[in-house]
């Protein structure tokens, strides 16, 4: 059996307004979206946490803050 070709992508979360007062603005997290859609976020705030989400839809639902946070994929 051959291994599946990786299609993982790096991204950052860029926040224009911090409505929670926790993470700040600008680049607030870095992450990877794996081949199966699973996303891992590494938060850059003083709380330094790591989060695993089922997919990018979950990331957007939790952290999108009604368009105040954008996903920026690395090129």
* pTM listed for this prediction: 0.85
| Residue that has been written with the tokens 């990786």 in this structure | 6
Model pLDDT for residues 5-15, shown as the tens digit of each residue? 889 999 999 99
Residue 61: strand, helix, or coil: helix
Model pLDDT for residues 15-69, shown as the tens digit of each residue? 988 887 777 889 999 999 999 999 999 999 888 899 999 999 999 999 988 889 9
Residue 24: the pLDDT is 86
CA distances in angstroms from 26 to 16, 17, 35, 52, listed in the order given: 6, 8, 27, 21
């Amino acid at each position: 059996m051959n291994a599946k070709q990786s299609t993982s992508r790096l991204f950052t979360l860029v926040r224009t307004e911090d409505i929670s007062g926790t993470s700040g603005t600008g680049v607030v997290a870095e992450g990877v979206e794996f081949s199966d859609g699973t996303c891992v976020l590494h938060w850059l705030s003083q709380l330094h946490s790591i989060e695993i989400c089922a997919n990018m839809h979950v990331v957007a639902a939790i952290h999108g803050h009604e368009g105040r946070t954008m996903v920026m994929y690395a090129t």
